[in-house]
Amino acid sequence: MKLLLIDIDGALVDCDRLDTECYSRAIEDVVGVKVDTDWSQYRNVTESGVLDEIIAKHEVQGSRSQIHRKVELRYLERMREFLAENPAELSLIQGAKEFIEQMKTRNDTHLAIATGGWESVAKLKLRTLGIDLSGITFASSSDAMSRTEIMALAAFRAKQDSGNTFVRRVFFGHGDWNKFASSELGYDFVAVGDDCQHHTHIPNFVHYQSAFSQLAIH
């Protein structure tokens, strides 16, 4: 049995401007701090991880859990408002929906989402784009702050959901943070898009068979 783990932003969904605009402004609205959107400088490139680092760096007073919740709710508000005016800013990566639907039909494969976004925000994006999450395991930065923890939790939940032990774990994502987390966990990594250099790479999910061939997955 194989476990295929997929990130959302940049892998399944193209939403860079949407995320940067709404997330950074939500933090500014609630915390009053201007956000540096060079995500590579943050220790944990997840929505909860970046916010926690900002809270610590700027010594923001108050309950961290309450601040996280307020920012998440404001982020959702901003995202809905933004999408009402700019619906084209949220779209599926080419071939993503077909890939998910095809993998769901395989008896030797289980799918899991492992995203650095908050669960509420991530599921809003996927629902908006018509992705059916039934039968797919889910883990997000609502569960943990680090990519490694999120991916490990997704694999643990997938084992519980499927009742199977996985002989291969393959992560599809973009960004060096996903590449490093996959390496740390011993997962195969497939870079999706142009933001990460890796020997196993596909421009989008139309070409997933190329990655399968490189990894000797049938």
Q: What is the pLDDT of residues 164-183, one digit of tens each?
A: 999 999 999 998 899 999 99
pLDDT at 216: 83
Least confident of 19-23, 157-161, 199-203: 199-203
Average pLDDT over residues 100-107: 95
Dist CA 139 CA 115 (whole Å): 6
Entry pTM: 0.94
Q: Which of 139, 134, 141 is nearest to 171 (CA)?
A: 139
The more confident residue out of 153 and 193 is: 153
2-14+91-214: CATH number? 3.40.50.1000
171: left (phi over 0), alpha (psi -120 to 50) or beta: beta
Query: pLDDT tens digit string along 109-162?
Result: 999 999 999 999 999 999 999 999 999 999 999 999 999 999 999 999 999 999
Domain boundaries, the chain: 2-14+91-214, 16-88
pLDDT of 196 strictly over 70? no
